Amino acid sequence: MSMDEKSPTISSELPSSNEISSSKQEPGSKRTVVFDVRTLEASLDDVADAWTNETPQVPRISFVSYELMHKLLAPNRMAILRAMLGAGPLSIREVSRRVDRDFKGVHSDVAALRGSGLLRKGDDGRVVFPYDEIRFDFWVKGQTKSAA
């Protein structure tokens, strides 16, 4: 399996935990990230378009297949991301408390989420998911059967 098949494509650099804790936001504004399923080529086309037109883009994390997205965002890991929305940097112990799970299991899931680039670890050891909300954007279609 190639690297493209194992890791999501992140079309914007995740801010550091220092940038999150010190950044000023307009009142009422939310940092939204879009999770979607699409080809690497489509993701790269968007990056090239944003670069050429210098238009700000909503942060997007793309997966090459629904199966990869489902594997990485298993229910326990999705619960971790939801608990971290808008929270800023958190210790793994605090994440464990928020999702009501044991430290070892949460540590393992956080390591997988960090390894895929979805979470960032700060200099102080805390982890951050720098968004206030997640939007999913993908189609699920049935398989077509060919006539035999």
Question: Could you state, in order of their start, the residue ranges of all structural domains in the chain?
Answer: 9-14+29-137
Q: 3-class SS at 146? A: coil
pLDDT higher for 26 or 62? 62
CA 78, 114, 21: angle at the middle one, nearest 5? 90
Q: What is the DSSP letter of 49?
A: H
* Bridge partners (DSSP) listed for residue 62: 9, 36
User: Cα 27 to the chain's mean position, in Å?
Assistant: 24
Q: What is the pairing mode between strands 32-37 and 133-137?
A: parallel
In tens, the pLDDT along 74-111 reads 999 999 999 999 999 999 999 999 999 999 999 999 99
Report the CATH architecture of 9-14+29-137: Orthogonal Bundle (1.10)
Three-class SS of residue 131? Answer: coil
76 and 113 Cβ atoms separated by less than 8 Å: no
Q: Which of 21-30, 69-78, 105-114, 123-132 is predicted with the least confidence, judged by mean pLDDT?
A: 21-30
Q: How far is CA 14 from the centre of its chain?
A: 9
What 8-state DSSP symbol labels residue 13? P
Query: Residue 79 is encoded by which pair of tokens?
Result: 């619960």
Give this prediction's pTM: 0.73
